[in-house]
Chain A
């Protein structure tokens, strides 16, 4: 073995290299304050390892990005942990960078002859911020999509070259496949390569100049990098890793929002926390001054920081630099805090965030169903989901008159009072029993606010049903079961099956002398009545679609339809939209879950 290593050393000279790397002399010995650079190095290695493995499962295209990240997060063994480490290490890196810079500034490690290394560090800082910015878009979720739109909008404000710069970044005029491929090549190719090169230069220059022993430090004997300093660095790296793991476990892993959608608002759009100060900063620049706020001032600040080694040569230069550093840090902390406070007090933001979280959860639930994500991607999957789209369509098209469980479908309250029935539970026994309840039929929940308030149905319920004997009332229960069974609601399937006999009986009782619904309504083979809507298939998907298509047709309200738009006939809604709202009203969607309030 010894011979073999000797042979290798003779050919490569590795022993000398190893010795010069490990036995770097440290004047004044190893110290805890020298750990920051090493922890950053450790963080970079972690990002490289986790990043490359994430890359092995990631697909950079508009129908593959969200989908592959969902797969990594939810299906791949340990994928959530891998992505969680990558995500939180990126955040911890920013903190470590700040600590490293503070140490350099306080210990005067930026002064001659270390100017160039300080500038290398500044470039590295920007590269790391660039990595964060590009990485934020890659999952192609609503959060990353809208935050990055703001970032590229800011790029487009650059004088003269702005629009071209934006087009280069975005890969065209619209966000799409090429935006992802280009951001990905920056995130996983160009920027990491630049980081590695600069780190090599940074460490080379650091070795050349050696550590900066703080003036205040007690004199100690000289030591060596190996093993004294390496032990301290390792302990620090372990603490960093433990922090990251703690964050991953505490949060349950990195968040994945709903798939990016250019046509759906995302009112919870915020950048990562370490860019929040810039976000807040932009609020203070009135019209016409955004370039100043977004580019000129940050550019000048960066130039001032870059000039620190030169300023440091002046007598009070170091104190001045310390002041600038403290002011910057304080200002950034202040702006970040303000952004947080404003968001915490902003009800719209809180609601938007809750809504976004619910949507993200639903998208993930849908993807986890046996049918999974279609080839057309997660967004198309979400757009075909009645639970997601039904309330939106209802709110926009139905809530001017109808309510759903007292609200507009999305939980809001329209300005005008309802003027049609509440459609929550439409088709169910409960809904029908309420309609046939003398105390409820003329309330806002049913016909109270409609033209039918003085119609025959209300009269029948308030006079006829109110006077039913207990026996007839029991028969009415069976009629309710029979008519409600027409809807074949998924949520009522087992109850309907249990009451098969009562349902058959109820169908007979429909036209019984005491109840006599058939006087006005057509039902199955009983077709005497043509006053009210046909009740064959009442509440079924076909029935609801027919109602939406043309409520004025003879099978529905005919001439009695006073206000319901003919959604199908007048092409106010597409067939797909009507299907979505019908399915939602009927509680018919994949992956049963109670609707959001």
Chain B
């Protein structure tokens, strides 16, 4: 019980028998194979279930009614609007729930929409207090009111994500609300 295992000079245990009989190879290989077969099903099921999220594609690319045209400031300053839509999150369905936000801006006769999410690392971009530009509070990305990067030191790889806008029935502002992958030059929908 208290006997110490044999040790070599570096302190490592020395196996009692180092030579393995050759015929044991087939037995050993079979043992591993059969064991692997036995665990194949649970591991397979686990992997399939774990990677399930990858095959899910975002469904949030329908047009949604975001605001009335009159609510967008006429002077061209941007205003934040919450985007509400129906959403399915795993087992739960939410109707008319906030899914994100956009900045709407009136330019001439046109209404333009920008996703509020920073294309750099996904923070919520803010508006500078004087309404002159967009500024991200995290890593100092900076954009002009059109959402274009306006500072060479800005870490954002692309401009803010413009969204498709449609004015319906004269005063309804509809936006195709989408999120895009941050941190890359091209605009890839999530």
Contacts and interface: CB of A to CB of B under 8 A. Distances in A.
B76 to A, nearest CB: 12
B176 interface: no
B123 A285 contact: no
A568 to B, nearest CB: 11
A565 B70 contact: yes
Interface stretch (A153-161, A249-257, A432-440, A537-545): A153-161
Contacts of A154: 121, 183
A286 B89 contact: no
A56 to B, nearest CB: 23
Contacts of B182: 153, 156-157
A265 B155 CA distance: 19
B70 A572 contact: yes
Contacts, number: 154
Interface string B30-52: 00000000000000000000110
B107 to A, nearest CB: 19
Nearest to A208: B11
B123 A269 contact: yes
B68 interface: yes
A492 B141 CA distance: 48
Interface in B118-157: 120-126, 129-131, 137-140, 149, 152-157
Interface of B: prevailing SS: loop
B187 interface: no
Given A156-B183, A157-B183, A290-B183, A173 B156 contact: no
Contact of A262 (B2, B11, B91, B99): B99
A149 interface: yes
Interface stretch (A162-170, A321-329, A451-459): A162-170
Interface stretch (B20-28, B53-61, B160-168): B53-61
Given A265-B116, A266-B124, A352 B89 contact: no
Interface string A163-206: 11011101111101110000000000000000000000000000
Contacts of B87: 174
Nearest to A290: B183
A282 B155 contact: yes
B188 interface: yes
Nearest to A175: B89
Interface string A258-294: 0001111111110000000001001101111011000
Nearest to B58: A173
Contacts of B64: none
Interface residues of A, number: 62
A471 interface: no
Contacts of B124: 146, 264-267, 269
Given A263-B99, A265-B124, A352-B137, A173 B183 contact: no
Contact of A396 (B57, B80, B138, B181): B80
B63 interface: no
A230 to B, nearest CB: 22
Most buried by B among A157, A290, A383: A290
Contacts of B131: 415
B185 interface: yes
A268 B137 contact: yes
Given A150-B123, A268-B137, A412-B129, A163 B181 contact: yes
Contacts of B51: 168
A19 B1 CA distance: 11
Chain B contact patch, size range: 35 or more
B155 A287 contact: yes
A32 B66 CA distance: 65
Contact of A173 (B57, B68, B100, B171): B57
B97 to A, nearest CB: 9
Interface string B77-109: 001101100010111100000111100000000
Given A265-B126, A572-B68, A287 B157 contact: yes
B188 A571 contact: no
Residue among A15, A269, A285, A352 having the largest count of chain B Cβ atoms under 10 Å: A269
A596 interface: no
A286 B50 contact: no
Nearest to A171: B53
Nearest to B81: A396
Interface in A326-354: 348-349, 352
Contacts of B98: 261-263, 383
A146 B123 contact: yes
Given A265-B124, A287-B154, A282 B56 contact: no
Given A156-B181, A178-B90, A170 B53 contact: yes
Contacts of A267: 124, 126, 137
A584 to B, nearest CB: 17
A374 interface: no
A219 interface: no
B89 A290 contact: no
A268 B124 CA distance: 10
Contacts of A352: 137
Contacts of A383: 98
A148 B12 CA distance: 45
Contact of A150 (B60, B70, B121, B184): B121
Contacts of B156: 287
Shortest beta-carbon contacts, A-B, top 5? A263-B98, A176-B89, A265-B124, A267-B137, A153-B122
Given A150-B122, A167-B54, A174-B87, 10 more contacts: A62-B89, A146-B124, A149-B123, A262-B101, A263-B82, A265-B116, A269-B137, A287-B156, A287-B157, A415-B131
